[in-house]
Copies of this chain bind each other. A is one copy, B any other.
Amino acid sequence: MKRGTLFFALLLAVSIQALGFQNTQVDYDAVYRIKDEGFNNSQVMDIAWNLTDRIGPRLTGSEGLKNAYDWTSATFKEWGLSNVEVQPWGEFGKGWDVRKAYIAMTVPYYQALIGIPKAWTLGTNKLVSAEVVYVDAADEAALSEYKGKLKGKVVMLPTSIEAKTTFEADARRFTDEELDGMTKRNVSGGGSGWSASRIAEYRRAARMRNAAYELFKSEGVAMVLNTHRGGGQGTFFTSNGSRNDDSALPEMEIAPEHYNRMVRLVTKGEKVMIEADTKTSFHTKDQKGYNVIAEIPGSDPSLKDEVVMLGAHLDSWFAGTGATDNAAGSAAMMEAIRILKESGVELKRTVRVALWSGEEQGLYGSRNYVQNTFMNDKAPNGEWEKFSAYFNMDNGTGAIRGIYLQENEAARPLFEEWFKPFHEIGASTVTIRNTGGTDHQAFDGIGLPGYQFIQDPIDYGTRTHHTNMDLYERLQAADMKKNAVIIATMVMQTANMDEKMPRKPKVFENR
């Protein structure tokens, strides 16, 4: 060997080491086995069917979510996973279910309305018949003019929701151009956040809503009606009531067309009557929240104390069956760990799956889990040191098209390499961008690598997110299969790296 050649070979070796080349390497044998199990023996749609059609809505604290805890933990045990646990994360503090949801317009003519009680509100507990009053007050003075006029009435507030005819498809996939655009960091040139006037307007509107609600309570209205975005055409969005305790008024969310018809009628001087019969029940027995946890113990004695996690939130809203939000993610994660177990691929580190609850109310399950598991009060503990990375899925049913680096450039070489076997199914985009709104943030928030995937939107934003039509039909079977396979691969690669997943610098030092 010539001296010059040796020099370059050494330089190359050093460079490869510095770039973490040993970590990026794809284990093509394992990937083949994961693909084989995930594409040829998939159970993901059966899992999703159980979570949606069979178990139904899974609001945190509801009977449905309890059934989901039971079924998912039993299923994990059946698959031979270890350390299966329905693990309390703390007090959720409430439990509630809908027992009856009937509402109809009776004057000027009969037509049943599409609607459901808002979360944690009271039912009417009998068939009530009441006139509709449209409370359109610009300020507190205008509001006070309704005093003495609302007892026993059904009240409606102005809404900006319209159910316009759409000339665009509900469902779509990202184009190559959009995916390419996503690889660029968004750097704002202007100030961030809301303007002072927008904040003032927001506060004024909140104050008015609050004043209106206090008036409705003191007057003794029969019911408060609302509508919300959700796509229209019979689809409506579910949300919380104005108050989340058992002193709340009966409140219902109804389809925007049905809401706006009554607004138009009343504002044009027509009398509108409603009949409604709703029942809700508050559970007091066990108000704790739980996460469902299971593991595949690591095979490498020196690495098995280190953990790679995958997870998704199991809880949902309740007007549909939470198919895309988030039976899709839960089923993908369950299927991913089933694939890892069933395919028998080597996993040096311990792999742990978590199905969270309370996500919809503020990532409660995951935030409490990371606090309980990785922290001693405000300082990271030994488990924090031994943690590698967490993978989350909560963007609906759409195919994974890539991953968000959550601004940590150090992970780029890994994911760029690991996604190579999935270019064939359209997943190749690695973006420096952050994404938020779900459970990976609990990990990211304490300096642990938490990742969420780029997924095709399908009809998540237009039709399914938190709506009554978030049902089994909306799940895309081919996408669901792909997602479980990709997630299983990412977890396998992470579990078998020489090092743990690179972290962002100094999260605790900076605090």
The verdict on A234 contacting B270 (CB below 8 Å), with A109-B57, A264-B49, A473-B164 known, is: no
B255 A234 Cβ-Cβ under 8 A:
yes
Which A residues between 231 and 258 are near B, CB-CB below 8 angstroms?
Answer: 231-236, 255-257
**A64 — which chain B residues lie within 8 A by C-beta?**
109
**A416 — which chain B residues lie within 8 A by C-beta?**
none
Residue tally, chain A, CB below 8 Å to B: 61
Residue of A57, A233, A463, A476 contacting most chain B CB atoms (<10 Å): A233
In the docked arrangement, what's the CA distance between A170 and B163, Å? 13
Closest chain-B Cβ to A260's Cβ sits at a distance in Å of 7
**A233 — which chain B residues lie within 8 A by C-beta?**
170, 231, 233-235, 463, 469
The verdict on A54 contacting B473 (CB below 8 Å), with A102-B112, A166-B169, A171-B167 known, is: no
The verdict on A112 contacting B116 (CB below 8 Å), with A234-B235, A235-B233 known, is: yes
**A257 — which chain B residues lie within 8 A by C-beta?**
469, 471-473
**A277 — which chain B residues lie within 8 A by C-beta?**
102
B165 A476 Cβ-Cβ under 8 A:
yes
A121-145 CB contact bits vs B (8 Å, 1 = yes)? Answer: 0000000000000000000000000
**A162 — which chain B residues lie within 8 A by C-beta?**
473
Report if A28 contacts B (CB, 8 A): no
**A255 — which chain B residues lie within 8 A by C-beta?**
234
A183-222 CB contact bits vs B (8 Å, 1 = yes)? Answer: 0000000000000000000000000000000000000000
List 8 tightest A-B contacts by C-beta distance, closest first: A234-B234, A56-B109, A101-B112, A102-B102, A257-B471, A169-B169, A234-B235, A163-B473
Report if A12 contacts B (CB, 8 A): no
Report if A110 contacts B (CB, 8 A): yes
Copies in the complex: 2
**A54 — which chain B residues lie within 8 A by C-beta?**
108, 265, 268, 270
Q: Residue A234 contacts which of B109, B265, B468 (CB distance < 8 angstroms)?
A: B468
Which residue on B lies nearest to A319, using beta carbons?
B111
Report if A375 contacts B (CB, 8 A): no
In the docked arrangement, what's the CA distance between A165 and B398, Å? 12
**A459 — which chain B residues lie within 8 A by C-beta?**
165
Report if A178 contacts B (CB, 8 A): no
Closest chain-B Cβ to A346's Cβ sits at a distance in Å of 36
Residue of A112, A168, A169 contacting most chain B CB atoms (<10 Å): A112
Which residue on B lies nearest to A98, using beta carbons?
B110
Report if A458 contacts B (CB, 8 A): yes
Which A residues between 74 and 128 are near B, CB-CB below 8 angstroms?
Answer: 97-102, 104, 108-112, 114, 116
**A167 — which chain B residues lie within 8 A by C-beta?**
169, 171-173
**A232 — which chain B residues lie within 8 A by C-beta?**
469, 473
A-B contact pairs, 10 of them (CB 8 A): A53-B265, A57-B111, A111-B321, A114-B234, A166-B171, A167-B172, A234-B234, A256-B473, A257-B469, A261-B471
**A102 — which chain B residues lie within 8 A by C-beta?**
102, 104, 112, 277
A458 B171 Cβ-Cβ under 8 A:
no
Closest chain-B Cβ to A62's Cβ sits at a distance in Å of 9
B169 A56 Cβ-Cβ under 8 A:
no
Report if A151 contacts B (CB, 8 A): no
Closest chain-B Cβ to A57's Cβ sits at a distance in Å of 7
Report if A386 contacts B (CB, 8 A): no
**A169 — which chain B residues lie within 8 A by C-beta?**
166-169
**A168 — which chain B residues lie within 8 A by C-beta?**
169
Report if A474 contacts B (CB, 8 A): yes
In the docked arrangement, what's the CA distance between A415 and B416, Å? 63
Report if A63 contacts B (CB, 8 A): yes
In the docked arrangement, what's the CA distance between A476 and B165, Å? 8
Known: A49-B264, A54-B265, A102-B277; 14 extra A-B contacts, CB below 8 A, are A55-B108, A57-B109, A64-B109, A98-B110, A100-B104, A102-B102, A102-B112, A114-B234, A167-B173, A168-B169, A170-B170, A232-B469, A233-B463, A261-B471
